[in-house]
A and B are shown apart, each in its own frame.
Chain A
Amino acid sequence: MELIVIGLNHKTAPIHIRERLAFSEEKIGEALLQVQALPSIRENMILSTCNRVEVYATVRATEEAFRDLKDFFSRFHHLPLAEFDKALYSHTGEEAVRHIFRVASSLDSMVVGEPQILGQIKEAYEIATQWKTSGLILHRLLHKAFHVAKRVRSETKIASSAVSVSSVAVDLAKKIFETLQKRTVLVIGAGEMAELAAQHLVSGGIERVLVTNRTYERALLLAQRFNGEAIPFDQMTLGLRQTDIVVSATNSPGYLLLRDQVAKVMKERKQQPLFLIDIADPRDIDPSVDDLENVYLYNIDHLQRIANENMKDRQKEAAKAEALVSEEVAKFVTWYRSLDVTPTIVALRKKFEAIRQKELKKTLALHPELSEKEKASLEAMTTAIINKILHEPITLLKKANGDQASDFYLDALQTLFRLTETKPDESEKEIFKETSQSNGSL
């Protein structure tokens, strides 16, 4: 029995290959069942996002399983193996465990630290559970992965700062206004950039959108999209008086907002703070506007620089996260290695034999009058009891060897008789809590 992962991601395959190999929501159940039907597979789960396609599985024979899975990819997607074989990576055992822990903690993501991937893995796991293709090992593996991701998020600062221009802008706005609720944004320009920026601020909580543009009709169109209001271009000052944030993204060759104009507006606004975001190239807002009190002017370069700095911090934090992952991998592997039939049987016999000898010694010490013959028959009787007790479980274990059922037997034996010296998992309680939560959200 071995744990494996095979797949491709944004680093190994271009988008057109990833698209061809992705599993759509409707087809994923069918795919899970097809993989499960392969003779080499014991359990499986498919993770398919726009950045990665991966199959996690426990298998009976590793080489055979990799071969089967490659064939499956090719057959299911009608794509010759040669076209994507080079993009595939595969890991077994400890490395497979490390892989999923890293993926779940967003250490393997395109933008390190972005949390969406965790939700996607949770979803993939829930689907595998619904189709009953995941068993004890994947169950434990996935819950461990969620636990690791949670630790990484709370113990490192990997996701604490914004790394995209628009999220940096939203963060800054919150540092000025505390919250975006009940705030107004004035969008100057009606192009794609303007629309994107407005979109981000609206999803950040902005309540009111004003749009102004040289062509009034286009302003009207964009305003409608956000249930906002359009303002004629020559009445821009009117908008400036009412707004808290300005996003400017026009193709104007010169400055649209000049210092004196903003200074005048600030007086009329009784110095209510104004956050100006200039994402136009060339600039729309005169940089000297920034000298005015209670005005905060950021252009696209400022935002980009902050995003880059945050990204560097994130990478530093990623190193801490890797150490944490290693720690958890070691813990998981100890447990997972214990799920092996032969050593478990040996350990079980040893444990029983030790108990027998200890108790026998006590009894013999209490009864020195016993003859050698009587002692021998006591010895034989206790051995027989143990053999009788162990006979059925051991037969069953040997028979179930390799089946999913044997995982449960082995895990139960390990736990009930404390066969390995590993401590009971401290995250167990949390796992149950998380399970009930994720069930609730289904």
Chain B
Amino acid sequence: MNVLFFKIATLLYLLATLGYLVYIINLKIAFSRWATILVIGGFGTHTLAFFLRYVEAGYPPVTNLYESLSFFAWMIVGVLLVSQLRYHVKVLGAFLTPIALILMLFALALPKEILPLAPVLRSFWHPFHVFFAFLGNASFSLAFCCGILYLVQEHRLKTKKVGALTQRLPSLKTLDDLNYQSLTVGFPLLTLGIITGAIWAEYAWGRYWDWDPKETWSLITWFLYAALLHQRLTVGWRGRKAAIMAIVGFGAILFTFLGVNLVLPGLHTYSTWRQ
């Protein structure tokens, strides 16, 4: 049942992505409106899928790669919807929805059975660790999108090629503000994710920090964002520099989340292909 809802949500995200694509090409507001409605519908279905799986499994379903990809996508769409409440930047949906869609399609290819929970995951802290980490990652995805849009818009303003695209893209200020806001939300969440992860590690393996590849890479990511925030607050690393850093940071996140799982062996291997 939960997988069915998961598939419906994927379909809705797919349709929404198509809607946004058409919107970007012909710039008719109606398409972005429909796409937004589809995203909301997808999010609702996705939420249902999550809780159904929670009930069926009896534990928070964030324990294997399928579940965590789905959870990540869910958080991204959630962050997108929240950001739409504050900033009416329609074009963001056109970038975040496809990211969520790709994660969903990836998850679709993975085994989806509910298995008995591995003893090491049977912890009070584990769900918190996952929740904080992925909500943080979702915020950083938003920062990443804003970064890309900022670079496009800035390039056009600098080269003085302002056409229809420039008119439809948000202003530099809005993009920079959103970038900063998502950093200020994402950074504490990432920090909490690492801390709760360490506490859980203490219960599971008897030590807080083990320098396994995932831990190392999260720390690298954390330092990247810490550096960006610091530079921003002290010497005014706004605009272009902040945009580039948000993009680099997101690359580090993707590597920490997927690359490490696939390439480097370590303690987090339960979240790879194998069960």
* Chain A residues with CB under 8 A of B158: 290, 296
**Once the chains bind, are A302 and B160 in contact (CB under 8 Å)?**
yes
Give Cα A203–Cα B238 distance, bound, in whole angstroms: 29
- Tally the A-B contacts, defined by beta carbons under 8 Å: 57
Docked complex Cα distance between A313 and B27 (Å)? 15
Given contacts A293-B241, A296-B157, A306-B160, contact A175 B236 (CB under 8 A): no
One of B169, B170, B239 near A271 (C-beta < 8 A): B239
Q: Are B236 and A271 in contact (CB under 8 A)?
A: yes
Contacts of A296 in B (CB 8 A): 157-158
Q: How far is the CA of A176 from the CA of B157 in the complex (A)?
A: 8
Contact A175 B235 (CB under 8 A): no
Q: How far is the CB of B211 from chain A (nearest CB, A)?
A: 37
Q: Kindly list chain A residues whose C-beta atoms are within 8 Å of the C-beta of B160.
A: 298, 302, 305-306
Mark contacts of A260-276 with chain B using CB atoms, 8 A cut-off: 1 yes-contact digit, 0 otherwise: 00000000011111000
By a CB distance below 8 angstroms, the chain A residues around B174 are 178
User: On chain B, which size bracket covers the interface?
Assistant: 20 to 34
Interface membership of A216, Cβ < 8 A: no
Complex contact A175–B239 (CB within 8 A): no
Determine the chain B residues whose CB is within 8 A of the CB of A270 once the complex forms.
235-236, 238
Answer yes or no: B40 CB below 8 A from chain A CBs. no
Pairwise interchain contact B171-A176, C-beta atoms closer than 8 A: yes
* Separation of A313 and B163 alpha carbons in the complex (Å): 10
Task: Determine the residue in chain B with the shortest Cβ distance to A290.
Answer: B158
* A351 contacts chain B at the CB level, 8 A cutoff: no
Let me know if B272 is at the binding interface, CB within 8 A.
Answer: no
Asked if A359 CB lies within 8 Å of chain B CBs, one says no
Supposing A296-B158, A302-B160, A306-B162 touch, asked if A178 and B171 sit within 8 A by C-beta, the answer is yes
B239 is contacted by which of A171, A172, A174, A273 (Cβ under 8 Å)? A273
B171 to A174, Cβ gap below 8 A?
yes
Q: Report if B139 contacts A (CB, 8 A).
A: no
Q: Are A172 and B173 in contact (CB under 8 A)?
A: no
A interface, how many residues as a size bin?
20 to 34
- Considering the chains assembled together, what is the distance between the CA atoms of A178 and B173 in angstroms? 6
Contact indicator B173/A272 (Cβ below 8 Å) = no
- Give A302 to B157 CA distance when docked, in angstroms: 11
- With A172-B162, A175-B166, A302-B160 in contact, is A294–B239 under 8 Å at CB? yes
The A-contacting residues of B in range 172-188, CB under 8 angstroms, are 172-174
Q: How far is the CA of A302 from the CA of B237 in the complex (A)?
A: 28
Which B residues, 225 to 241, have Cβ-Cβ distances below 8 Å to chain A? Answer: 235-241
**B153 interface residue per 8 A CB criterion:** yes
- In the complex formed, the residue of A with least CB distance to B234 is A270
Q: With A175-B171, A177-B171 as known contacts, state yes or no: A271 contacts B238, CB within 8 Å.
A: yes
Of the candidates A161, A269, A273, A309, the one whose C-beta lies within 8 Å of that of B167 is A161
Could you show 7 A-B contacts with beta carbons less than 8 Å apart? A172-B162, A175-B166, A271-B239, A273-B238, A273-B239, A293-B241, A306-B160
B binding-site residues for A, Cβ under 8 Å: 153, 157-158, 160, 162-164, 166-167, 169-174, 235-241
Write the residues of chain A forming the contact surface with B, with a CB cutoff of 8 angstroms: 160-161, 171-172, 174-178, 269-273, 290, 293-294, 296, 298, 302, 305-306, 309, 313
Closest 6 CB pairs of A and B: A270-B236, A271-B236, A178-B171, A178-B173, A294-B239, A302-B160
